[in-house]
Amino acid sequence: MTDTRWLDDSQQQAWRAFIRVHAELTVRIARQLQADSDLSLAEFEVLVNLSELPEPRIRVLELAKQLNWEKSRVSHQLGRMQKRGLITRAGCEEDRRGSFIELTDQGRAAIEGAAPGHVAVVRRLMFDALAPDQVRALTALCDQVLTNIETANCPKE
């Protein structure tokens, strides 16, 4: 058994600040999306991924990987979105168990309608508080942490 490497005061302060910023941004962005476009944050995330695809469709498992979601979460979310007419499912000829997800015209209209308000709230809450060099530093820090996460020998939960 190894000794615990506790966070020092500055690390603890940084960690708690990060957690609070993440939580506050998530809540406020979700509220804005719901109020302005009647989309949940999860729906918005799916629609963003679908709208940015070079091809008009994607396999469910590939979408789950892009979102970093469990397959069951993606399946339930896609079912709700299909009922709302935001996406359609199409069978996969190569793999009868798999399916493709496609963005509908209604889904494209929803993401195009939601994007301006989303960008405005992200800019107001985050980027208006930062100078360009701070934005570059934030990007570098996030990239460094993501690289560490991807190479760490920790199981994915």
Instruction: Answer whether residue 121 is part of any domain.
Output: yes
pLDDT at position 157 over 60: no
Instruction: Answer whether residue 22 is part of any domain.
Output: yes
Q: CA 12, CA 111: separation in Å to the nearest integer?
A: 38
At residue 43, the pLDDT reads: 97
Instruction: Answer whether residue 24 is part of any domain.
Output: yes
24-61 residue pLDDT tens: 999 999 999 999 999 999 999 999 999 999 987 999 99
98-125 residue pLDDT tens: 789 999 999 999 999 999 999 999 999 9
Task: Kindly give the interhelix angle for 105-125 and 9-37, rounded to the nearest 10 degrees.
Answer: 140
Instruction: Answer whether residue 8 is part of any domain.
Output: no
pLDDT at position 150 over 60: yes
At residue 67, the pLDDT reads: 95
Tell whether the torsion through CA atoms of 84, 88, 91 and 92 is positive or negative: negative
75-103 residue pLDDT tens: 999 999 999 999 999 876 666 667 899 99
Residue range 9-21: average pLDDT? Answer: 97
At residue 144, the pLDDT reads: 96
Residue range 62-69: average pLDDT? Answer: 94
Instruction: Answer whether residue 7 is part of any domain.
Output: no
Total domains in the fold of the chain: 1
Containing domain of residue 84, as a range?
A: 13-151
Instruction: Answer whether residue 17 is part of any domain.
Output: yes
The DSSP-derived string for 113-145 is HHHHHHHHHHHHHTGGGS-HHHHHHHHHHHHHH
CATH number of the domain that residue 139 is part of: 1.10.10.10
The one-letter amino acid code at 65 reads K
pLDDT at position 156 over 90: no
At residue 117, the pLDDT reads: 97
Instruction: Answer whether residue 6 is part of any domain.
Output: no
> Is 37 in contact with 117 (CB distance < 8 Å)?
yes
Instruction: Answer whether residue 157 is part of any domain.
Output: no
